[in-house]
Amino acid sequence: MLNPKAEKKWFWIIIGLGLATRLAASVLNKGYLALDDYYILFFSVPAQSESLALVDTIQSVPEIRSLVPDFIIRVFAKTAYWLGFQDPLSQIQFLFACLGILSIVTVFTGYNLLKFLYTPKGLRTEKRENYKDWIPLSGAFLLSLHFLMPFISTRSLIESMSAPFLLGSAFYFSKYYVLKVKKYLFYSLLLLSISCLFRFQVGVCAIAIFAFVLYDGWKKKDWKDLGYFFVFSVFLFILTGLPDLIFRGSLHSSLISYFRYNLDHSAEYGTSPWYTYLPTVIGVSMLPLLIGKYDGFEWKKIYKELIPVSLFSGIFFVSHSLIPHKEERFLLPIFPLLLLLLSPLAAYWWAKEHRRMSIRRSIFFLVNFILLSLLSFFTIQSNSIDLVRYLHSHKEIKQLYVYKDSIPHLPVSYAYRDPLERYESIESLDEENQPKIPGFDPYTACSSAFVVRKDYVVGGQYPEAPWDLIATFRSSPLEEFAVSLNPNKNKRRSSLYLYKFKLCKDEVVSPQNHLGTVDL
């Protein structure tokens, strides 16, 4: 049996380590996972821009997205500015830290759910297997320190911001499943509705709640709870549509626009086979390390308690597998739920092997913490972010030319400076390896710079004198590894080389005192 005092001590140690890791990831990893992640930052940072008031820029938020996630990020960015953080990077790190602190609620929710499900109720006299005592702590560890959690919990992705609310919904759905108390049904639907404000697709999980309420009503020949389900659902649907009604003029206009947009344009983003997500789930769960002979493991009894979590996860996974366009980040809302489903298996092997040397456990911790370090402490998109930070510090650069597709996206929110006078893509070099820049005057070009990606430089496509290499912006180790595995798909993550034009009439222009946002 696990001593309650020891369990409490280890729980708070896990919480402390998870919080510390999230704060470190907020400061050390200034990157973003996807363009959708960055676009929320784009409308909120730098917070001192006149266009970033909290309410009067509703029109700047894309119509297909809810106003709620942008509002939250703007509040954090404005708070950072009011606290004296002038540099946009400091504002971004501050809001990442706020998201990380708030995400700790996921660990508390998951731990309390597993405690509710696997703690003996009443006066039970049967002998309990030791592994059951470890299930709540195993879930807390996975939710706190799984290699993905600190990074995704501190990014402004709508998928990761929706996850704590979806987990909360599953928590109260589980309590309703066990206790049949109507208030838990309402709380579950309420948190699911809030989760939908971040990621509309999580609404499919309402099917699980409806199916159980319908089945339970049919089984008991009592349809009162089904009536409550519809009343609660209609009320919450109207309530969550009010922000769009107030600021955009119609109820759930963002949801309607989102579905219309995806009907017309989803195919443009590419399609993938139905099984695309399976390798992702196997990989992030480190499932091979959980394969073994489970002597005495009560599969039916253990996972009967997790039926609500399984329903949420299964319906979400199947529905997203049927949608042609797939991205791994789309699974982030149910990632904490998947970790809860793994908790009994992890607890079994911990209880069985924790008093002796275990190769399985050693490999798990080694792989997990190596990946956690690479994801949390090395900047994703560091090549383009570091370039923008260089522009933030070197305001004498006023014209930026990009060779072909070396920079598909320039994250300008990481700088606060005079607008660039020119930002253009240059498609070719001449016979002397000089960029073919229309209207380029070499005698007044002291403020010009030229960016080339590593694969072009390796192939000999880079400017020669009087263009001098002045800076290199390298990718993170994880991104370099991704480039080596699939150069064609991941070449945008390669290192960038910045060249400065040196042969000109005047010396380099000194930085201006007036600041403004980088305007492309």
Is the same domain home to 354 and 450?
A: no
Examine residue 517 and state whether it is found in any structural domain, yes or no.
no
Is the same domain home to 81 and 102?
A: yes
Mean pLDDT of the chain: 88
Is the same domain home to 431 and 349?
A: no
Is the same domain home to 403 and 366?
A: no
Examine residue 520 and state whether it is found in any structural domain, yes or no.
no
Which single residue is written with the structure tokens 């240059």? 426
Is the same domain home to 484 and 358?
A: no
Residue 143 CA, distance from chain mean position: 14
Is the same domain home to 172 and 318?
A: yes
Rounded (10°) CA dihedral 236, 240, 241, 244 = 170
Q: Residue 55 gets which letter from DSSP?
A: S
CA 90 to CA 379: how far, in whole Å? 15
Question: Does position 403 have pLDDT exceeding 90, yes or no?
Answer: yes
Question: Does position 50 have pLDDT exceeding 60, yes or no?
Answer: no
Examine residue 507 and state whether it is found in any structural domain, yes or no.
no
Pairing mode, strands 467-473 and 448-453:
unpaired
pTM > 0.75: yes or no:
yes
Domain end call among 355, 377, 399: 377
Cβ atoms < 10 Å from Cβ of 180: 13
Number of domains the chain contains: 2
Q: How confident is the model over 113-125, as a mean pLDDT? A: 73
Is the same domain home to 99 and 192?
A: yes
Examine residue 76 and state whether it is found in any structural domain, yes or no.
yes
Per-residue pLDDT at 66 = 87
pLDDT: which is higher, 439 or 356: 439
CA 497 to CA 481: how far, in whole Å? 19
Is the same domain home to 253 and 359?
A: yes
Examine residue 156 and state whether it is found in any structural domain, yes or no.
yes
Is the same domain home to 395 and 324?
A: no
Is the same domain home to 351 and 453?
A: no
Examine residue 511 and state whether it is found in any structural domain, yes or no.
no
Which single residue is written with the structure tokens 């370099």? 480
Is the same domain home to 67 and 94?
A: yes
Examine residue 506 and state whether it is found in any structural domain, yes or no.
no
Q: Write out the two tokens for 238.
A: 């109207």
Q: Domain range spanning residue 75?
A: 4-377
pLDDT per residue over 347-360, tens digit each?
999 988 777 778 99
Domain end call among 346, 377, 408: 377
Examine residue 161 and state whether it is found in any structural domain, yes or no.
yes
Is the same domain home to 299 and 174?
A: yes
Q: What angle do CA 296, 299, 303 make, to 5 degrees?
A: 140
Angle, helices 158-179/182-198, rounded to nearest 10 degrees: 170
Domain end call among 343, 377, 411: 377
Which single residue is written with the structure tokens 């579950």? 188
pLDDT per residue over 218-261, tens digit each?
999 999 999 999 999 999 999 999 998 988 889 998 999 888 88
Residues 6 or more apart whose Cβ sits within 8 Å of residue 355: none
CA 58 to CA 71: how far, in whole Å? 9
Question: Does position 60 have pLDDT exceeding 80, yes or no?
Answer: no
Per the CB < 8 A criterion, the answer to whether 320 and 326 are in contact is: yes
